[in-house]
Structure 1
Amino acid sequence: MSLKKSLGLILAILLIDQVSKFYIKTHFELNDSYHIASWFKIYFVENDGMAWGTRISDFIPFISDKVAKLSLTIFRIVALIGIGYWLFQTTKRQGDKLLVSAISLVFAGALGNILDSVFYGVLFDSSLGQVATFLPEQGYASLLHGKVVDMLYFPLWKGYLPEWIPFMGGKYFTFFEPVFNIADVAISIGFVILIVFNKRVFRKEIQEEKENTLLGETQ
């Protein structure tokens, strides 16, 4: 896949992601929901954390939310630069199409959530108890402290777990509980491709490494 096609895929995902988030922000109050089916609903939540609604404080409880948010945003930007460089180099050496597609998906998803984190605090006011206003006089947060918009919720199964299950037995459980967005889906699909098809997508890189090793041994 060429860099041009890769950029086209990234822009398409980014457009779908940002349009869906903009619609939710300007039509839903925080925690509003719209039931599409018993197992799927649009449920508007915001999170300061990582993909699938997780937060840094879930892993490092002693860090403040403000510091955690700023640190995560900066980390995302640095990671995005690294992913972008990887994508550029892979297309430059005409890497496997599936590999380029996977990197493009991860890049698009990461960029989509970064836009929320960097700009949404300035572009919108609070969604708590009201529908947010686009370009208000004052946003709900400063630059780099915006919240990621999530809205896709798939409670496929709800019920009490059997008593024999260790630690969780007898507890009420929802599968799948995390609320997510299009960017999260793109990132997840990209990583699944890299894991499941790793032998294929990295075949050319492995072959080139072997050839370079043999070339070095013959010199």
Structure 2
Amino acid sequence: MNLKKSILLIVLILVIDQLSKIYIKTNFVLGESVQVFSWFKILFIENEGAAWGTKLSDILPISESLGKLFLTIFRLFAIFGIGYWLFDIIKKKSPKVLILAVSLIFAGALGNIIDSVFYGLLFNESNNEVAELFSNEPYGNLFYGKVVDMLYFPLIDTTWPEWVPSVGGKNFRFFEPIFNIADTAISTGVGILIFFNKRAFAKTES
């Protein structure tokens, strides 16, 4: 996989990711959902933190605002590191599967960084109203954007049998996380590295 193909893949993922996020943001109120299938919904939420909505302020004794800034800056450093890794493995003509995986991870990370860095300046709030792109009343500042998520797959939505200890009668839902195209690209890239580890990191003959 050469540099041109890698860039094409990254641009394609970014375009799909950002178009889907802008569409959701400008057509859905926060929390609004549309059921596509019994096991798939479009559900608009915003993620202010890291994976699974975790915030640094939940872990460290710092304010939410400072935690958000640190997280966005960390993401920026991370994307530069991933970008350098991608350029390096392409230059070294590493296995195609490795370049594919890192390209997916880079594209996904960059897609979410765009939200974190710029969305606070581009959109107004989505609470009880549909947001406007290039709003005169943006909800945040540079580096304080919220990541837009919308893909929800409650594959199993049922209730535990009454006879099951401690959870009997309670709701059970699988799969709970709500994510976006960028998250999908990252997860796919990581999955490729895990399942095709030997091929991805195979030593090339000099």
TM-score by length of 2: 0.93
Equivalent AA in structure 1 for residue 149 of structure 2 = D
User: Can you list the C-alpha shifts for 1:94-151, whole angstroms capped at 9, x where unaligned?
Assistant: 0100100000000000000000000000000001111101111121001100000000
Counting only pairs closer than 5 Å after superposition, residues 143-154 of structure 1 correspond to structure 2 as: 143-154=142-153
The structure-2 alpha-carbon separation of the partners of 1:58 and 1:186, relative to structure 1 and needing over 3 Å to count, comes to farther
Aligned partner of 1:14 in structure 2 is: 14
- Equivalent AA in structure 2 for residue 50 of structure 1: A
- Name the residue aligned to 1:41: 41
CA contact (8 A) 2:56 2:68 kept: no
1-structure distance, mates of 2:163, 2:76: 44
Alpha-carbon distance between aligned partners in 1 of 2:64 and 2:57, rounded to the nearest angstrom? 11
From the superposition, tell whether residues 58 and 196 of structure 1 become closer, same or farther in structure 2 (CA, over 3 Å).
farther
- Opposite residue 7 of structure 2, the aligned amino acid is L
Q: List alignment gaps of at least 5 residues for structure 1.
A: 209-219
SS at match of 2:178: coil
Q: Larger % of helix: which?
A: 1
Quote the offset at 1:65 in angstroms. 1.6
One-letter amino acid of the counterpart of residue 198, structure 2: K
Residue 71 (structure 1) aligns with: 70
Amino acid at match of 1:54: G
Give the distance between the partners of 1:108 and 1:169, measured in 2 at CA: 42
Deviations 1:154-211 (A, max 9, x none): 1111123467878756542211111100000000000000111111100126x67xxx
Matching residue's letter, 1:182: I
Structure 2 equivalent of residue 173 of structure 1? 172
Q: 2: CA distance between counterparts of 1:59 and 1:191?
A: 26
Alignment of 1:1-219 (within 5 A): 1-51=1-51, 53-57=52-56, 60=59, 62-161=61-160, 171-204=170-203
RMSD: 2.0
- Structure-2 separation of matches of 1:159 and 1:22: 33
| CA distance in structure 2 between the partners assigned to 1:34 and 1:80 by the alignment | 33
Aligned residues: 206
Q: Give the unaligned 5+ runs of structure 2.
A: none
Flag the 1:135–1:63 CA change in 2: closer, same or farther, 3 A: same
* Contact 2:40-2:154 at 8 Å conserved across structures: yes
Percent of aligned pairs with the same amino acid: 57
Q: Distance in 2 between matches of 1:2 and 1:89?
A: 12
Runs of 4+ in 1 over 6 A off after TM superposition: 163-167
Secondary structure at 1:91's aligned position in 2? helix
Paired amino acid for 2:130: V
Evaluate the alpha carbon distance shift between residue 167 and residue 59 of structure 1 in structure 2; reply closer, same or farther with a 3 A threshold.
farther
SS in 2 for 1:152: strand
Which residue identity lines up with residue 38 of structure 1 in the other structure?
S
- 1:13 maps to a residue whose letter is I
> CA–CA distance in 2 between the matches of 1:157 and 1:103?
32
Displacement of 1:72 in angstroms is 0.9
Query: 1:162 & 1:203 partners in 2: Cα distance?
Result: 48
